[in-house]
């Protein structure tokens, strides 16, 4: 049995005991002079974050370089989108896959759905036009995992790319004509999550008249901006793609600023909706906001930045909680939910965040730790169920999941 793990890779305690007469092999990984694995070593990263698998694949016929990271499958098969990005190095791509897959475990756990955490990345130029061979190679790679990992779209990929993957494996979601693009549901979850944060910070969940600085003008950010504009919020936006900025400005009347200037804006809310780690040593002191609530993954460069936000009195809506609408959308596709059910489920992010904020206040801990605690409780509880054999084969829902 795979025991559940917390975000730092520590095994969580569940009732009962597990015994084994088989001693583990005596093999030891190469250590530094100080007795630790070298910094940046993939096994060291897996050990620290508690991963089950890290796999690499290469197809020279189409220049495919792919990585799949599987963090934890206690709750069900690992789900996580495919990110297509021009990474600076293989090490950078591996680190991204490991961090993102860990976040997916916690995202599904907090959302109350029966999926584990995984992620895949393709290294390369995501603007290349010849995509079929590349994504079919990716599909063949995923098929070798036998259903332990299910993919969907992410940054640099689209539902059309998922159709190419579908030609090689059934372990893919986000297909055209089904749930498709998850960004509307993701954005809705971020929107209601931002309202929950507003309720805690200002006593009312109204965002009318509030100023929101949105970093990124991609698909999720565009939908989020539309929700906020409709409610009467004032928007400041930025993106490295000037055309995306123009579209959001035209649709919402937002004020555009240069990418690096977004951190210096006086606003009520900072909404990171692009790549992660934008709350870091360089930016944190520049932020002039009361709330951080956005769609990006891994918004904190390090955990200690969450502690510093708490010290500064900035209310942080943990990223994997507030952006959980995407995984909910995919889960709905796997179980053939109607679109409205997925949106309604994403609306529960509001109450989940209120609960997390309450835990943080009662236990006097940062909100990101309160979110981890809520996720770990569910993983431990479900992990304990593996100890009771009910006879026959475990029931499974769509894509071999544990129930629905």
Which residues are designated catalytic?
A: 119
Are residues 381 and 15 in contact, defined by beta-carbon separation less than 8 angstroms?
no
Q: What is the DSSP track for 10-74?
A: PBPP-SS----SPPPP-------TTSSPPTT-HHHHHHHHT-SEEEEEEETTTTEEEEEEEEE-S
Joined together, the tokens standing for residue 384 give: 């304990």
Are residues 137 and 66 in contact, defined by beta-carbon separation less than 8 angstroms?
yes
d(CA 306, CA 319): 11
Longest dimension (CA), the chain: 68
Sign of CA pseudo-dihedral 350, 352, 358, 364: negative
Strands 315-316 and 291-292: parallel
Joined together, the tokens standing for residue 183 give: 């960004």
In three-state secondary structure terms, 167 is coil
The candidate with the shortest Cα–Cα distance to 213, out of 265, 260, 160, is 265
d(CA 25, CA 43): 16
Are residues 325 and 182 in contact, defined by beta-carbon separation less than 8 angstroms?
yes
d(CA 199, CA 331): 28
What are the φ/ψ torsions at residue 63 (nearest 5 degrees)? Answer: 70, 35
Q: Cα 352 to the chain's mean position, in Å?
A: 16
What are the φ/ψ torsions at residue 38 (nearest 5 degrees)? Answer: -60, 145
d(CA 307, CA 338): 40
């Amino acid at each position: 049995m795979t025991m559940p793990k917390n975000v730092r890779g520590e095994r969580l305690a569940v009732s009962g005991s597990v015994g084994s007469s088989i001693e583990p092999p005596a093999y030891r990984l190469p250590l530094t002079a100080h007795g630790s694995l070298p910094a940046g070593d993939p096994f060291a990263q897996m050990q620290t974050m508690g991963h089950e698998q890290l796999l690499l694949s290469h197809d020279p016929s189409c220049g495919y370089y792919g990585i799949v990271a599987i963090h934890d499958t206690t709750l069900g098969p690992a789900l996580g989108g495919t990110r297509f990005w021009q990474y600076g190095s293989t090490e950078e791509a591996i680190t991204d896959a490991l961090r993102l897959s860990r976040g997916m475990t916690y995202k599904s756990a907090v959302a109350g759905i029966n999926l584990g955490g995984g992620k895949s990345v393709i290294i390369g130029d995501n603007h290349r036009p010849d995509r079929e061979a590349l994504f079919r190679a990716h599909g063949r790679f995923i098929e070798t995992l036998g259903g332990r990992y299910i993919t969907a779209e992410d940054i640099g990929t689209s539902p059309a790319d998922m159709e190419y993957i579908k030609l090689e494996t059934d372990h893919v979601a986000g297909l055209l004509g089904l749930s498709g693009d998850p960004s509307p549901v993701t954005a809705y979850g971020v929107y209601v999550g931002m309202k929950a944060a507003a309720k805690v910070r200002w006593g009312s969940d109204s965002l009318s008249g509030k100023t929101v600085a949105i970093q990124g003008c991609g698909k999720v950010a565009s939908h989020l901006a539309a929700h906020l504009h409709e409610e009467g919020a004032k928007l400041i936006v930025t993106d490295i793609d000037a055309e995306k900025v123009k579209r959001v400005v035209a649709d919402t009347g937002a004020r555009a600023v240069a990418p690096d200037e977004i951190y210096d804006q006086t606003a009520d809310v900072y909404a990171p909706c692009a790549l992660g780690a934008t709350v870091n040593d360089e930016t944190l002191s520049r932020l002039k906001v009361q709330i951080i609530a956005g769609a990006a993954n891994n918004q904190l460069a390090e955990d200690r930045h969450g502690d510093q936000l708490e010290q500064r009195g900035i209310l942080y809506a943990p990223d994997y909680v507030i952006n959980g609408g995407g995984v909910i959308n995919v889960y709905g596709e796997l179980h053939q939910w109607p679109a409205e059910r997925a949106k309604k489920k994403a609306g529960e992010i509001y109450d989940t965040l209120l609960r997390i904020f309450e835990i943080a206040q009662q236990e006097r801990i940062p909100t990101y730790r309160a979110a981890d605690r809520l996720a770990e409780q569910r993983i431990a509880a479900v992990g304990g169920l593996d100890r009771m054999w009910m006879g026959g084969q475990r029931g499974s829902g769509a894509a071999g999941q544990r129930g629905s």
